[in-house]
Every structure is written in C-alpha cells, then in structure tokens.
Structure 1
C-alpha cells in the first residue's frame, strides 16, 4: 500500500469526494434552489419546526455551499455554517459575500464539531445523515452542542430504498442501452457507490431508524414530517421526467427533535 494512503480513512474519502463535487454542486436541482416555489417550501418547513429566528444561534452542519444556511439567515437566525471540505466552504464564503450576508463559516467534522457545549439554539442539516460513518456519535455530539430546549432539524431520505421508478429506469437503460442521465461522471458514480457501501446506513435508511437513534442520544419530542411535497414538486418540475417522477415517490422526510430542558 502507498504509505501516503496508509491512514486514508472512509471519512477522508467522503471529504475529498464532496470537495471534488463543490465546483458543480450548485448546478444540480435538489442542491441549489431554482424557483421561488421551492424557496417558499423550504421557508415553510423551517418556520413550521423552528419558528422565526429572532437572532437565535443556528449551526448548519455539512453546510456545503450554504443553501440551507442562507434560508436560515433569511428566517432571522444568526447562522454558523460548518463543513469539512475547504472547497465547499470557499464556495459558501463567496456566495455569502456576494449576498452580503453575515453568515460565519468554520471547518469541522459533523461527528466531532469542536463547537462549545450548550451553544446553539438550533442545528440543521440536509442530506448528511446517510453519509455518516457513526450517526450515534454524531447525534450525541449535536445533543451536546445544543442549548437545553434546542432543536435539531434533519432533512434526508431513504435513498437506498428501491422505488418502482428506479426499476423502470433500469429497465429502460437495458432496453435502450442508454444509461440514465446523471450529474456525475461514471468514475464519480463508482466512488459514490463505494462510499455508500461502507457508511452506517449502507442499505436503507428509513425515518424510524433515524428517529430511534435520536431518542437513544437523549432527544425527545421526535417528529417525522413527510409533508415535503411543495419542495419536491418544485424540484421535479425542473428535472427530466423519470428523475422528477422518482423524486416524487422517494421516501424523503424531515425529522425535528428537541433537547430536554434542564
């Protein structure tokens, strides 16, 4: 083995994969927001579970290029965006500068943020949990970083669950000898699949499993919200037909949980 790779872990692979995706991340529907209808859907979801910001401190974990960070900022939260990828943070800082927002950005690991205990009113993340090597450790970390009474809002999905639309896509690819359109190259797709096979939720990630881990970490009032149709419909309208249809039938969800008051 190459000595330079001897200590190269799955976490390093995940960081480097998303660093390479940073340059084109905002080009994909479902990453950046491309319509006012989708933006309103996100704003509705945030206010439904977290209320108005009113200057409360929010930590957006795995913030990427800061899409959710800006939504939180618009809702009145004082936002810190945290990501492990320098490339993502570079894009996030440039976006914040262009939009003249006061969002702060720090580099950090979602499973060990190094942020002070009891320091944030809310934590947000989107499409992060499925990438975690150790979700129980991450949830304990988030519990620690939140103030008593603070809330975490997770937006994710059971992407490993095979839908009938995915089956249709595979059948079409077999009949037509054409691979489904993808925003990733075959090489990047192979790396994506390799990483996915080695994370905690390497197969399916049903909402109930995530909710159970949150409860084990000490969270209470765990609410699973599957009413994201306004967001998904706005996204699907800007996708190729089969990809848009799959977006509508996938098991996607938001989970909000609360750290108990002392």
Structure 2
C-alpha cells in the first residue's frame, strides 16, 4: 500500500463511525431504503446470485442484497468499514463474507461472481481503467457489472482534496456517464446508463450533480 492508498484507508476508517448518518449510506429512512431496494431488484438477476460488493463501506447495500436472497462478498480498503459491515449483517441475521483489501485487485482468489457492484468507488482508485479490466475477469460468462457513479458537485471547485495526493487520482471528483461508458464499452458485450440524479428518494433529498448507474453485461 503506497502513501496515498494508506491515507485513503485511514480517511475512510475515520469516517466509518459517522458514515451511516448520510441518508444514502445508512439507508435508515424507509423511503430511501425502499428506493435502493427497487434499484437493486431491477439491476440484479432474477434468481439468487453471487454478488461482489466492492467498496462495500458499512454494508448497507450488502444487507439489502442478502435480504433479497443473494450471496454477498464485500470488500473495502478500510478495516473499520469492514467491521461495521460484518456486524450489520450479523445483527440483522444474514450471512455475508467481508474482506479487507484493495478493490482494484479484490482478495477473492479464483472465485467468480454473477454480479460485481460498486457505488461511488471508481473516483478513489489510482488506476480505474486497470481496475475495470480486472473486474470483468472476476465475472462468470454472462455476468453483470453494476457501477453507481457520478460527477460530484465539488468537482472543479476550489475545495481541498479529501486526502493528500487525491488531486492526482485520474477520476478525482467523479466521472461523467459518457466517459465511464467509453472506458467500459470495450470490455463488455453491451451496457446501458440509468440516470439517477432526479431520484431524490435515493439520496434523501434533491441533488444537483450528475449521478447514474451503468449496467453492463459481459
């Protein structure tokens, strides 16, 4: 782990205690949780699937997936996020496997998955294009890549980077749908973009920046 990755891990470790206070992180409001359940239902295969949740954070989406009958493996660089994800599923009475590791090279060995899900992750990666290439190799034939991403309202502003060195990250501040689609398209059989900015229930209120889901089949 280099200095920037160590800083990122430490940042999210420190953020883990209050992470779920954000409406779209903790999914504590019934309306917000139901909105994410609806999205996941539309993005996932019909039957129980093996899902790799990269950048799983405190496990809120992992829990929704487990409740829907899917088998979930979560990976996060921040150990305290992983601890909270494990505890969240245990308290709710659901099984899940959670690992500390770099999302660029998930520590899942030779295991392959039906779906790889990540939310608001690619902008934090030092080589997101290499990560995308790696991620599609972790999917079974006919598998699905689901990326929930955006361009954050702070992008292009004068605010300081969230950790030292983050300004050098290729997609710092997020990436627009067209640019992400261009990076993913050569790796998959087909993809679609689902705009999410206008879905206020997902975020706990209206948002003014670009948010979307990219759903790709391999």
The correspondence of residues 67-216 of structure 1 with structure 2, limited to 5 A, is 67-117=60-110, 119-159=112-152, 190=160, 192=162, 194-202=164-172, 205-216=175-186
CA deviation profile, 1:197-233 (whole Å, cap 9, x unmatched): 12111356111111111123x1121111004634x23
8 Å contact from structure 1 (residues 58, 78) kept in 2: yes
Provide runs of 4+ in structure 1 moved above 4 Å.
160-163
Q: Counting helix residues as a fraction of each chain, which structure ranks higher?
A: 1
What is the Cα-based RMSD across aligned positions, in Å? 2.4
CA deviation profile, 1:11-64 (whole Å, cap 9, x unmatched): 121111111111111112221113222122112211222233x33110000101
Deviation at 1:160, TM superposition (A): 5.4
Partner Cα separation in structure 1 for residue 97 and residue 39 of structure 2: 23
Partner in structure 1 of residue 203 of structure 2 = 235
Specify every segment of 5 or more residues in structure 1 that has no aligned partner in the other structure, as ranges: 1-6, 171-188, 238-243
Specify every segment of 5 or more residues in structure 2 that has no aligned partner in the other structure, as ranges: none
Could you state the TM-score of these two structures normalised by the residue count of structure 2? 0.89
Q: Which among 31, 34, 51 is matched to residue 37 of structure 1? A: 31
Q: Which has the larger radius of gyration?
A: 1
**Using a 3 Å threshold, how does the CA distance of structure 1 residues 36 and 192 change in structure 2: closer, same or farther?**
same
Partner Cα separation in structure 2 for residue 156 and residue 84 of structure 1: 18
Could you state the TM-score of these two structures normalised by the residue count of structure 1? 0.75
Partner Cα separation in structure 2 for residue 227 and residue 190 of structure 1: 26
Q: Counting strand residues as a fraction of each chain, which structure ranks higher?
A: 2
8 Å contact from structure 1 (residues 35, 234) kept in 2: no
